[in-house]
Chain A
Amino acid sequence: MKSRNLLKFGLIAAAALMVFGCGSGDASSSASSTTPTTAPAAEGKKLKIGVSIPSADHGWTGGVKYWAEQEMKNHPEIEWVYQTADNPAKQNESLDAMLAQKIDGLVILAHASEPLTPKAKELHDAGVFIVNVDRGFTEPIADIFLAGDNKAFGRISAEFIAKQLNGKGNVLILEGVACNVNTDRVEGAKEIWAKNPGIKVLDSQQADWNMQKAFEKMQTMLVKHKEVNAIWAADDDMALGAEKALKEAGRDKNIFILGGAGMKDIVKRVMDGDPMFPGDVTYPPSMIAQGIKLAVETMKGKTKEELKARKPTNETVKIELIEKANAKDFYFPDSIY
Chain B
Amino acid sequence: MELINVTIDNKKIEVPKGTTILNAARNNNISIPTLCYFELKDMNITNKPGSCRICVVEVAGRRNLAPACITECLPDMVINTNNIRVLNARRTVLELLLSDHPTDCLVCPKSGKCELQDLAIRFGIREVSFTGDKSTHKKDESPAIIRDMDKCVMCRRCEMMCNTFQTVGALSAINRGFEAVVAPAFEEDLSRTACTFCGQCVAVCPVGALSEVDHSSKVIRAINDPRKTVVVQTAPAVRVAIGEEFGLKPGSIATGRMAAALRRLGFDYVFDTDWAADLTIMEEGTELLGRLTKYLAGDKDVKIPLLTSCCPAWVKFFEHHFPDMKDIPSTAKSPQQMFGAIAKSYFAEKIGVKREDMIVVSVMPCLAKKYECARDEFKENGNPDVDFSITTRELAALIKQANLDFNSLPEEDFDSPLGESTGAGVIFGTTGGVIEAAVRTAYEIYTKTDCPQIDFQELRGLEGIRSATIDFNGLPINIGIAHGLSNARQLLEEIRDGKSTFHAIEIMACPGGCIDGGGQPLHHGNSDIIKARWEAIYQADKNLPIRKSHENRSVQKLYEEFLITPCGEKAHHLLHTHYFDRHTQFEVNLDKINSK
The answer to whether A and B assemble together is no
A residues bordering B, Cβ < 8 Å?
none
